[in-house]
């Protein structure tokens, strides 16, 4: 009966509940519980997030300013810093160039093939970063299918292009990251009221002026938000520079080189510079976003119009078909190569021999099966921890007046602003010994270091997702349940958890997808015993076992799809 009373609505609130005679916990008990939760959350963030990053910063000054001066006078480090910034900015520009027009095309116009193109537009998001890089290597690398086909058709003695260097990295980033821009801008256009354009047109504004003065300003939050996500992703990218760098240096790879060479102090300096670059990008983009308010009253109403030009009506389906083929090719190529017999694909356009042995070996060879069980178990543990922590943190941020909520919001977002390479090196520098006095635990070289890294990296994703759901809940519902005599745990289970469920499911899905295919932190922290799928793929590539590497990649794609389908089932099941 009490649960039904809680669900009946917002009216009545705490006063009506108290009038009903329910017992409430004393206010002091409630405050102590909130304070206890806040202390536990702050302690975990301080130990797992702040402490490792502070260790890196302090370690960079181990010899005073000597290593910093060496960094700024080193041609290699200077090249790495400049290349990192150039690649990140160019990746943002390329992603905006692709994502914004595509979002406008699919949201504003009706044409033949629009639904098919819309369905495949987000396909690159299903490729884990390393798998996407491998697919491009199989397609457009020096011995790739497309490269060999063009060379054969044109009768060239050598490959027509060499997919290495800055432009190659930006090309790969553009394919994998334009989805962020497309999704953000498409969502903005769905909420956009096209009557504003009609009003501006009625006042005599040309189409270009309407776009510049009305449409784009209202889309600025979406554009800046997606640009920030692309910038952070490109800044910490490791797989594309590692595979396609061709000898050029970027900070993410330079950190690993310094660590492997035993120059840990220089690695700390490079990590600190990478983090400072990320913070600088965050500040610049946030300042652009906050230069003015971008809001409109009323509900969004968008309409699609048919193209008036006959030439555009004829050309658009052709362009859509080419785009769909381009989007499908990386996935199809990975699947095709997964059936290729290892060691047989050398100079041919396509693999000459095919077999099921690659998948059979993954299922029967214990050494090849271990990375699969490692990735699944580590992703499951990290995601479970993210869900529990994210729920408590979001609850404190949204539904309580716990002290330090502003600081808590900042610390929760911190792992998102710091590249994964920096987080991994911070963990390696901090948890390399057992020391009760300095609150250190030996995790480096153990199985547990990678789940901890995955957990830290995905804290912002899960917490923000749950926070968004809780902000749509009326806070008086919890007060009403408590006033009717429900314990804090019962109110959490019957009121707060159902409200948080959509964000909890979405956050868990995103965190598990990110963890199961994680590569950047793994390459810094892994050992042979806890190597994940991503590191085994790299190992197979190094040994030229392309078929086995592709089979692992197909399995990784299947895991991502399984996680996504499970999340969608959970959303529909508990809706």
Integer Cα distance of 181 and 100 in angstroms:
7
Residue 200 confidence (pLDDT): 64
Tell whether domain 381-528+556-575 is in CATH 3.65.10.10: no
Task: Confirm if 414 and 408 have CB atoms less than 8 A apart.
Answer: no
Q: Higher pLDDT residue, 4 or 549? A: 549
Per the listing, tokens 């609505």 go with 9
Tokens of 529: 């015993």
Q: Which residues contact 557 (CB under 8 A, 6 or more apart)?
A: 126, 127, 128, 131, 331, 334
Tokens of 167: 């432009």
pLDDT digits (tens, 9 = 90+) for 433-456: 898 888 899 999 899 999 999 999
Q: Higher pLDDT residue, 331 or 5? A: 331
Task: Confirm if 376 and 516 have CB atoms less than 8 A apart.
Answer: yes
Length of the chain: 575
Residue 68 confidence (pLDDT): 92
What's the chain's Rg over C-alpha atoms? 26
Residue ranges of the domains in the chain? 54-296, 381-528+556-575
Q: Higher pLDDT residue, 343 or 251? A: 251
Integer Cα distance of 109 and 107 in angstroms:
6
Residue 4 confidence (pLDDT): 43
Residue 5 confidence (pLDDT): 39
Q: At what angle do helices 357-364 and 546-574 cross, to 10 degrees?
A: 70
Q: In the beta sheet, which residues pair with residue 110?
A: 306
CATH of 54-296, one of 2.10.109.10, 3.40.50.620, 3.40.50.300, 1.10.3720.10: 1.10.3720.10
pLDDT digits (tens, 9 = 90+) for 507-541: 888 899 889 988 888 988 999 889 999 999 989 98
pLDDT at 352 over 90: no
Of 189-198, 351-360, 522-531, minimum mean pLDDT range: 189-198
Pairing outcome for strands 305-306 and 109-110? parallel
Task: Confirm if 20 and 483 have CB atoms less than 8 A apart.
Answer: yes
pLDDT digits (tens, 9 = 90+) for 476-497: 777 677 677 767 677 777 788 8
Residue 15: C-alpha distances to residues 48, 474, 488, 533 (Å): 42, 15, 18, 56
Residue 311 confidence (pLDDT): 77
Domains 54-296 and 381-528+556-575 agree in fold: yes
Tokens of 6: 């809680």
pLDDT digits (tens, 9 = 90+) for 358-367: 999 998 989 9
Mean pLDDT of 184-198: 69
Task: Confirm if 301 and 198 have CB atoms less than 8 A apart.
Answer: no
- Tell which phi-psi region holds residue 498, choosing left (phi > 0), alpha (psi between -120 and 50) or beta: alpha
pTM score of the predicted model = 0.80
Q: Band of the pLDDT at 96, cuts 50, 70, 90?
A: very high
Residue 271: C-alpha distances to residues 101, 426, 445 (Å): 36, 9, 21
pLDDT at 213 over 60: yes
């Amino acid at each position: 009966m009490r649960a039904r009373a809680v669900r009946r609505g917002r009216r009545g609130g705490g006063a009506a509940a108290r009038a009903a005679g329910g017992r409430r916990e004393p206010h002091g008990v409630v405050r102590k519980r909130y304070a206890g939760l806040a202390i536990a959350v702050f302690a975990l963030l301080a130990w797992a997030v702040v402490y490792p990053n502070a260790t890196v910063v302090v370690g960079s000054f181990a010899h005073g300013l000597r290593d910093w001066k060496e960094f700024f006078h080193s041609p290699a480090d200077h090249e790495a810093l400049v290349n990192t910034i150039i690649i990140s900015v160019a990746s943002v520009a390329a992603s905006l160039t692709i994502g914004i027009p595509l979002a406008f095309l699919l949201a504003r116009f009706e044409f033949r093939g629009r639904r098919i193109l819309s369905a495949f537009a987000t396909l690159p998001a299903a490729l884990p970063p390393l798998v996407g890089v491998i697919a491009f290597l199989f397609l457009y690398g020096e011995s790739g299918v497309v490269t060999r086909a063009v060379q054969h058709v044109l009768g060239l003695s050598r490959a027509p292009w060499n997919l290495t260097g800055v432009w190659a990295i930006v090309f790969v980033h553009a394919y994998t990251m334009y989805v962020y821009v497309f999704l953000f801008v498409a969502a903005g256009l769905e909420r956009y009221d096209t009557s504003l354009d009609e009003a501006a047109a009625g006042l005599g504004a040309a189409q270009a002026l309407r776009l510049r003065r009305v449409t784009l300003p209202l889309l600025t939050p979406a554009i800046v938000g997606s640009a920030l996500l692309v910038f952070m992703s490109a800044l910490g990218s490791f797989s594309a520079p590692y595979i396609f760098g061709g000898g050029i240096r970027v900070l993410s790879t330079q950190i690993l080189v310094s660590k492997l060479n035993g120059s840990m102090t220089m690695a700390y300096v490079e990590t600190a510079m990478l983090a400072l670059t990320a913070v600088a990008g965050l500040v610049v983009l946030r300042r652009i976003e906050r230069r003015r308010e971008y809001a409109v009253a009323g509900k969004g109403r968008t309409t699609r119009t048919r193209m008036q030009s006959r030439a555009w009506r004829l050309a658009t389906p052709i362009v859509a078909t080419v785009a769909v083929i381009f989007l499908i090719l990386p996935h199809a190529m990975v699947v095709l190569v997964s059936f290729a017999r290892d060691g047989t694909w050398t100079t041919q356009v396509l693999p000459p021999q095919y077999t099921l042995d690659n998948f059979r070996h993954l299922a029967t060879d214990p050494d090849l099966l271990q990375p699969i069980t490692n990735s699944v178990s580590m992703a499951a543990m990290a995601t479970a921890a993210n869900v529990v922590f994210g729920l408590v943190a979001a609850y404190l941020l949204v539904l309580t007046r716990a002290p330090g909520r502003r600081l808590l919001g900042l610390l929760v977002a911190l792992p998102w602003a710091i590249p994964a390479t920096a987080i991994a090196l911070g963990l390696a520098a901090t948890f390399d010994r057992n020391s009760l006095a300095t609150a250190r635990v030996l995790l480096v070289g153990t199985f547990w270091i990678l789940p901890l890294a995955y957990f830290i990296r995905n804290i912002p994703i899960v917490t923000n997702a749950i926070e968004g759901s809780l902000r749509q809940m009326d806070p008086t519902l919890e007060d009403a349940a408590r006033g009717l005599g429900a314990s804090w745990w019962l109110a959490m289970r019957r009121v707060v958890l159902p409200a948080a469920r959509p964000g909890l499911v979405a956050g868990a899905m995103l965190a598990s997808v990110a963890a199961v295919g994680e590569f950047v932190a793994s390459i810094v922290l892994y050992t042979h015993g806890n190597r994940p799928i991503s590191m085994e793929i790299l190992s197979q590539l190094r040994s030229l076992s392309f078929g086995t590497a592709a089979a692992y990649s197909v399995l990784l794609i299947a895991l991502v799809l399984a996680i996504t389908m499970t999340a969608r089932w959970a959303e529909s099941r508990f809706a």
